[in-house]
Structure 1
């Protein structure tokens, strides 16, 4: 059995770099030898994870330390393997950790990882017109208004932590118009205009916005939130409810559950777990027990 700690030193404005020696010491105390990889780029992290996934040793574990980007890479390379995935949330948003109920405090996260309790959890598998033709998603597949906000946030030159998404969400409304969707939910086809359609394996995105507040990663289903076409003023007034997970109570919001969702539409692209994954059309399918996560209570 091997243990590898994969660290993005820049995560959380350097927080991961500062905490890495302490985390390494705790892991070595529990598991013996720990191979530490400090990633220097997205490509470096991908290469390290691909090498581990190719070995696929029974009982091997990978601990990723960083934000949602690192978690997204871990999920995509370790899905379908026997390798155990541990997460030390140390980014600015940590939406995946919040969605599945992992501790936000690093010391508590390490206690869970050391306990080494494994839970197979669901992932959303996305295929179609996405980069590489395929990807795994832990939290939310976004299209429409939410995807635009996410992309603009990623390209900000100056960021304000989790508040960045909220600030961009306000500014992006100025020139946004509802999108025309063509969707199929478990084979039921419909066309509609909507501000967004979010498809959740987990419930959080955008640094704490609970767009699919009842989503579970162990129920074998996707949660779908449709915000129907409303005025910009109306959406602006209710945006704070996203953080509280209460927006679904509004009469212009529709919630569904399904195993498969096909999404197409006019002039839209897709984001997932904070990363741009490609354009529509795409298909999202719930895949039960896709990855072995360590640390759920």
Structure 2
């Protein structure tokens, strides 16, 4: 793809360990004569503004070099436009890249796909009027663990999330959810609810195991109220997707989902969205990705 490529980069991905991977990727992208520019914002809002400005100028691609959070930010800039999204996984989980069949551990191979790949048209979904997501929206136990971890200053890295999980489990109680799925109303106490355009989040948790990003539908997983011991036994099954057969798990598909629950904050693609209620609605064919 000789032409103009805008690279949206997060040098802090993987705790800063991805910084040394960026320059070789840029050299690979420039190998065939492409004009490559790099976008690094001073904040998430600044990076988004810069990315939107770049997309408005009509590059041949906007490439996200980072993890799912950066892909989420890039989707805000390209969804609904003709500019394709390239993804060079350089984060911790890289679940969206995995769902698209991209190499998750080889940044140079991912750069080659940007240069040689063809645009694939997939779905994205709106959360309210102003935000998009490409992967998974979660709310309930998992989002409360995120909230707790984000308030902590110690320990560093993934250990913080393990401590937050243990602390949240001690006080957690099932949450009364009300869901409207294309007019079908479900009211149920649940441990968590996930809405997936793709199948996994959180570094490989296949919470919506059958979700595909181009079927015009969102998959909904509801893990109903279970005792804490049963929850601890069931939750690890999410890494294989085998939780789908548990009697407390309900799965549905819908185009438009409204979630209501008291005291619950939602996360999309690992990024904080805000308190529910919220509405997720799929927009078929709204995203072009290089695969």
The two structures have a TM-score, normalised by structure 2, of 0.93
Runs (4+) off by over 6 Å: none
| Conserved? CA contact 2:48–2:76, under 8 Å | no
| Conserved? CA contact 1:9–1:39, under 8 Å | no
Report the counterpart of residue 77 of structure 2 in structure 1.
Answer: 77
CA-CA distance at 1:231 after TM superposition: 0.7
Cα distance in 1 between the residues matched to 2:203 and 2:148 = 14
Cα distance in 2 between the residues matched to 1:101 and 1:21 = 24
Report the counterpart of residue 39 of structure 2 in structure 1.
Answer: 37
The two structures have a TM-score, normalised by structure 1, of 0.91
Report the counterpart of residue 213 of structure 2 in structure 1.
Answer: 217
Residue 159, structure 1, aligned to residue 156, structure 2: yes
Q: Which sections of structure 1, spanning at least 5 residues, go unmatched? A: 128-132
Report the counterpart of residue 115 of structure 2 in structure 1.
Answer: 114
Equivalent position to 1:238, from 234, 239, 250? 234
Report the counterpart of residue 130 of structure 1 in structure 2.
Answer: none
Report the counterpart of residue 269 of structure 1 in structure 2.
Answer: 265
| Conserved? CA contact 1:170–1:236, under 8 Å | no
Residue 193, structure 1, aligned to residue 189, structure 2: yes
CA-CA distance at 1:38 after TM superposition: 3.3
The two structures, once aligned, show a CA RMSD in angstroms of: 1.7
Report the counterpart of residue 25 of structure 2 in structure 1.
Answer: 23
Report the counterpart of residue 254 of structure 1 in structure 2.
Answer: 250
CA-CA distance at 1:31 after TM superposition: 4.4
CA-CA distance at 1:259 after TM superposition: 1.0
| Conserved? CA contact 1:8–1:40, under 8 Å | no
CA-CA distance at 1:92 after TM superposition: 1.2
CA-CA distance at 1:164 after TM superposition: 5.3
Report the counterpart of residue 97 of structure 2 in structure 1.
Answer: 97
Cα distance in 2 between the residues matched to 1:255 and 1:242 = 13
Cα distance in 2 between the residues matched to 1:147 and 1:233 = 20
Report the counterpart of residue 282 of structure 2 in structure 1.
Answer: 286
| Conserved? CA contact 2:85–2:288, under 8 Å | yes
| Conserved? CA contact 1:203–1:210, under 8 Å | yes
Cα distance in 1 between the residues matched to 2:33 and 2:131 = 31
Q: Are residues 11 and 220 of structure 1, via their aligned partners in 2, closer, same or farther at CA, if it must alter by over 3 Å? A: same
Q: Which sections of structure 2, spanning at least 5 residues, go unmatched? A: none
Report the counterpart of residue 205 of structure 1 in structure 2.
Answer: 201
CA-CA distance at 1:99 after TM superposition: 2.7
